[in-house]
Amino acid sequence: MLAVVCPGQGSQSPAMFAPWLELPGVPDQLARLSQAAEIDLVAHGTTSDADTIRDTAVAQPLLVAASLVAAAQLFGDRPAADVVDVTAGHSVGELAAASVAGVFDDAGAVALVSHRARAMAQAAAAAESGMAAVVGGDPAEVLAAIEAAGLWPANVNGGGQVVAAGAHDGLARLAEDPPARARVIPLQVAGAFHTPFMDSARDAFTPVATGWAATDPSVTLLSNADGASYATIAGDASPHGRGADVLARLAAQVVAPVRWDLCQETLLELGVTGLVELAPGGVLTGLARRTLKGVETVAIKTPDDLEAARDLVARHSGVRPEADA
């Protein structure tokens, strides 16, 4: 059984689109996605520096576009539903996963995430806040220490990693008095995402998201909220869930914790045997190697990783993507 996952904010790096632009079809695809995003994704993915692409308004559409470029090269003309059994994305990656699942087309996903990104950037600018990864330690003690510092567990990632978020003074208290056997690592992000600091972003994004054009998923799609598939949420209403439920949860996700640990538990329960992380891959496969024992993984970082990804797809889905036919 094959899973395809999409990374979240912080995975971007300068010039990450440069090798992809050498592939047929990618320049035209990125031109279309740039128009949808209303920013120059090609320039940001080739010449912009690290500080520029750290800006939430740039980083989020850049990341979703990168995953969708990799997906197009991986699957070719074959619909993802013919190849993928289950898909999920971490935070902003959930919008890319929704596109893989057929909820949006590529342009629709990038346009929607651009609205999300602008709203979250404005919320982050309104009050200073940040995030830090807490690696190691007893899970209960880590959560207690985060709460004691006046912070929130914004990402519960599994594999001994929780991301704390909130005001800078709270993050400083946590770093000065970390949980036993844990390290606190500051993250280079603009604000405390997935916390009440993003209330204004949720308020701005919700009417946009819930009114967005969407279709029901054609692939099992997992929610960051609780790791459940949208099919479970919908009951018998739709075999893979309802597009309206996806939109509602994407809006709520702006202030809700990302429960990637529960998404990984669901992947195991479903019987996933192979996992491909779309570009810019690496973070989620690293978590998978620590948590999804026995699951073969490939991270697509550059086009050089496509052949290994196609091979994994062929062996775990039983279908060879047409891009390599």
Within 8 A by CB and 6+ apart from 155, the residues are: 90, 91, 161, 162, 163, 194, 257, 258, 260
Dihedral sign from CA coordinates of 103, 118, 69, 41? positive
- Do 220 and 96 form a contact (C-beta atoms < 8 A)? no
CA dist., res. 297 & res. 303, Å (int)? 16
Structure tokens at 153: 């567990």
Q: Which residue has the tokens 């059984």?
A: 1
Cα 85 to its chain centre, rounded Å, is: 18
| Annotation says 91 is catalytic | yes
| Annotation says 316 is catalytic | no
For 55, 121, 319, the CA distances from 59, given in Å and listed in that order, are: 6, 10, 33
Structure tokens at 310: 């196609």
Structure tokens at 270: 């479903």
Q: Which residue has the tokens 């496509």?
A: 306
**Residue type for position 301:** K
Angle made by CA atoms 202, 203, 208, in degrees to the nearest 5: 85
- Do 256 and 194 form a contact (C-beta atoms < 8 A)? yes
The answer to whether the bond into 14 is cis (omega within 30° of 0) is: no
Q: Please pick, among 91, 218, 229, 317, the residue that the annotation labels catalytic.
A: 91
Q: Please pick, among 90, 194, 240, 316, the residue that the annotation labels catalytic.
A: 194
- Do 208 and 269 form a contact (C-beta atoms < 8 A)? no
| DSSP state for residue 96 in the 8-state scheme | H
Nearest to 12 by CA among 67, 77, 72, 79: 67
Phi-psi region of 268 (alpha: psi -120 to 50; beta: other; left: phi over 0): alpha
The catalytic site residues sit at 91, 194
